[in-house]
Structure formats: C-alpha cells, structure tokens
Amino acid sequence: MTSSYDRQEQSALQDYQRIAMAPLEEAESLPFSAYRSQSAYELEAETVFRNEWVFVVAEQELPNCGDYFAITLAGEPIAVIRGQDNEIRALSNVCRHRGTPLLDEGFGKVEKHIVCPYHAWAYKDNGELKAAPLPGDINIDKDQHCLPTFFIESWHGLLFVNLSSNPEPLAKRLAGIDDYLGYFNLPSFENGFKSTTEYWNANWKLAMENAMESYHLFKVHKQTLETVTPTKQAYYIAGHSEWTLTGGKMLDTSSKLMKWFRGDYPEAYDHYVLISLPPSFVGILTYEGLSWIQVLPIDKDHSYIRSAGISSYSGKHENKTEQAFTEAFFAEDKDICERVHKGMYSTLAKGGKLVSMERILVDFHQFLGSRLFESNVSDFFQSPEAERFIGKNTDSSEGE
C-alpha cells in the first residue's frame, strides 16, 4: 500500500519534471518541493553527481608534486592529487583495508606516500598499495588492493571528475563554448588563488541559480556587485542545457590618464562573461582572470560552497580590498539563499513566471530535466550580443 509520504514524493518528482522541461516562454520557477524533497535529492545525487562531469578543482591550485584536494562528491570521498610524475589523478580517498578516509578534506600535501591513519596501510600517489604493516601469515595481493581511480579531464586547467564507468568525453559537453572566449586568453591564467570553504543552509540548486542569474544584483548586491556590474547591463550571450554564457558591461572607473595609457583594446574587455557549467560550476571571466563559485550538495538542505580562481597575476589573492569585496557579496548571497530556502518549505505557496533575464535558469532546469527524466531540451540559442566575443582565435599562442 502506497503511503501518503510516498504519494507526495512521487507528485513532487512529476511536478519537477513538468516544469524543468518548459521553454522560456512557458518557464516558471521550479516547484518548491523540488528543493525539499528527499526523493528529488537522491535522484540528483545518483543521476547527476555520480554520472556527470563535475568540477572539483583547478590544476593551478595544485601547482606542486604532492599537492592534493580531497572532497566528498555525492557521498563518495575522492582525492585529486598531483603525483611525483606531475600527473594529476582522481583517486578514491577510502582505504582498501577497513574503509577509513585517508586524506583530510580540503587542500594538503602528500610528502611521500598516502598513509591510512588507522592501520598505516600505505599507498603510492598513483593509488598502488605500497605496504601493509604486520600482515602475519596473511598474503595481501597488492594488485587487488589498489585505490580505485576515477575519470578526470581538464578544460583550461579546470579539472572535472566523473564517477561513472564509461563517460562521454568532457569536450562533447563543452563543444562550441571556446568560440566565445578567445579574447580572454585563458592559457595565460597560470596562477591559482582560493578562499575558505563555506556551508550554506540551502539546497544546492538555490545556490547555483543565485550564482548564475544577474536579475537580483540591483536588490541583493546594491552596494557591492551592482556598483561595478549593473543589472541593466546584463545580457544573454549563447547557450543551451549543456552550458550557458551570459555577460554584462562593467563600469569603467579609470581616470582619463589611465585610459590614455591603456590605449586601444577589444570591446570585449569592457565586459564580463559568466560561464555556467552545470551541475557545480559558475565562473566570472574578465581579461584579468577567471573567478568561480563551486557548489556541491551535502544533503537536500545544505550545500558546500567554495570560491577560487585563476589569473595571470601571481599576487591576485593577496589583494585585501578585492578579498573584502568578495567576502561582502558572498555574505549577501548566503543570506538570500538561506532565506529563500526557508520559503521552499511552504506547501501552499508556489513560484511564478521567469523573466527574460532568467533565461539562464531555463537552461539549468532543462539540464536537470534531461538528466533526471530524459526530457527534451530547447535548441542552442545565440543572441546578437554574442558578436562582440566572436572572431578572436582561441589558439594559446595568441595574446602572449
């Protein structure tokens, strides 16, 4: 016999599917139940985060041999490590003996071997079992006790991990995106910078939606982001369910003398490009660097949030004024996301129509619908604003 709870969860998934597949003209906010439903969360964790390319860390954040970043992805502890051979690998972060997590989460350094803190089983940084102390008369087959490895691919230094057994190439997901990014010379961004990790009392989708849309800047970020990237100057560039680019005009506060010294430069440099790569990455690209927010679910009510970036300037992370600015608008984002999350527990209220500036949310919702329910998606769309970014060759030698 189906319980009342089961019927509610089934209804929540049906509403989720119906709204997630809608095109812009019919699009509404996702049903509130999609943010509070345990069934929806479990489906997202299994279907999306365990089967999609998920951004984890940047190569530039692991510059030296032995550097690692450990994180839990959809319940699976993983560690991304730059080995002594300079290769970067994604390994299981669970000991093959009794299941103890090996490396502490976050950034760290493997000096020689990965050593389990429980019984000191030791592994090479490529996952091979090196030694198991005091085995007695038991023969331990080292080849049968290596750490599992996961698929990992890089896009402009950004590392994506896929936990599935046979994923399609990341390049297929990102096909066409580089056509719009050539002016920004991403290969020149060789230095990584990062901030502290935060944990928000909000569903992961709320954090992603907030990060990718510019409609809220004039209200939530009136004293911060709105002063440099005004809401009215934001626009859609190009995209679909797999990736989306939006942009905006940045206010130029430089003096006349500074503008004279700077001389002529491409119009694209007066604009930022917001890169949305679901399910976990939203970045802001300018001619100076690429900053991003990384969003991962902890459970249906809590999210892991990390900000970082790459730049051509080695001292970017030491800019205290910029750091304070970032911390200020991050605090504003956290407050509004946690406030919205409380509203998702209303069972009588419901969301309404999305406006034109929220077209990027339609792409995100269709990404979710295509993965969770195999729903159809809208065709690729390019706006007239895209022309200012097209034409620059993306070859890494240009701009050097």
Domain ranges of the chain: 4-51+174-389, 55-155
**Token pair belonging to 24:** 């812009």
Question: Is 2.102.10.10 the CATH number for 55-155?
Answer: yes
Residue 1 pLDDT:
58
Average of per-residue pLDDT across 358-366: 98
| Residue 238 identity | A
Which of 47-56, 78-87, 186-195 is predicted with the least confidence, judged by mean pLDDT? 186-195
pLDDT digits (tens, 9 = 90+) for 46-65: 999 999 999 999 999 999 99
Q: Which residues contact 178 (CB under 8 A, 6 or more apart)?
A: 394
C-alpha to C-alpha distance for 109 and 352, rounded to whole angstroms: 48
Percent above pLDDT 70 for the chain: 93
- pLDDT reading at 395 higher than 60: no
Is residue 205 predicted with pLDDT exceeding 80?
yes
At 196 the pLDDT is: 76
Q: pTM of the full predicted structure?
A: 0.92
Q: What is the mean pLDDT of residues 92-108?
A: 97
Give pLDDT, residue 258.
Answer: 47
Burial of 128 (0-12, 13-18, 19+ CB in 10 A): middle
Three-state DSSP class for 83? coil
| Euclidean distance between CA atoms 376 and 168, whole angstroms | 19
Note whether 96 and 145 are within 8 A (CB): yes
Residues 6 or more apart in contact with residue 4 via CB below 8 angstroms: none
**Residue 210: what residue type?**
N
Over residues 247-292, the pLDDT tens digits come to 999 987 554 444 444 556 788 889 999 999 999 999 999 998 999 9
Q: Can 4-51+174-389 and 55-155 be said to share one CATH topology?
A: no
Closest CA to 49 of 394, 325, 372, 287: 372
Question: What span, in angstroms and rounded, lies between the C-alpha atoms of 90 and 295?
Answer: 19
Given this model, what pLDDT does residue 272 score? 95
Q: CA–CA separation, 258 vs 245, rounded Å? A: 30
Residue 42 is predicted with a pLDDT of 97
CATH class assigned to 4-51+174-389: alpha beta
Mean pLDDT, to the nearest integer, of 119-130?
A: 97
